Amino acid sequence: MLSLLAGRTSEAYAWLILSIGVGQSAGTALAGRLAEQTLASAALPAAGAAFALAVLLAARRQLRPAGHRPPGRHRRPLRGRHKPS
């Protein structure tokens, strides 16, 4: 975990705000250029949806609820039920 000195907190937030602003500006400029293309009008939303799906699939392990365990092959038998002989 990265620890910041007390005097560096405002600088860290300034870099964060700057990077978000630059990313939004670049994305808006790129989207404006692509929206002017005739074939891109249908491809732009499809590409955005495909990208969002790719991000969600890549982060699916981190997006699981806390304490969630994937089902295993070996499960405990239900109470009161026995295997048929």
- Note the maximum CA span of the chain: 73
Whole-angstrom distance, CA of residue 52 vs CA of residue 61 = 16
Model pLDDT for residues 66-83, shown as the tens digit of each residue: 676 666 666 666 666 655
Asked whether the beta carbons of 52 and 45 are under 8 A apart, the reply is: no
**What are the C-alpha distances in Å from 45 to residues 33, 42, 69, 71?**
14, 6, 35, 35
Reading the block at residue 18, the tokens are 């700057």
pTM of the shown model:
0.41
Model pLDDT for residues 33-64, shown as the tens digit of each residue: 877 877 766 777 888 899 999 999 998 877 77
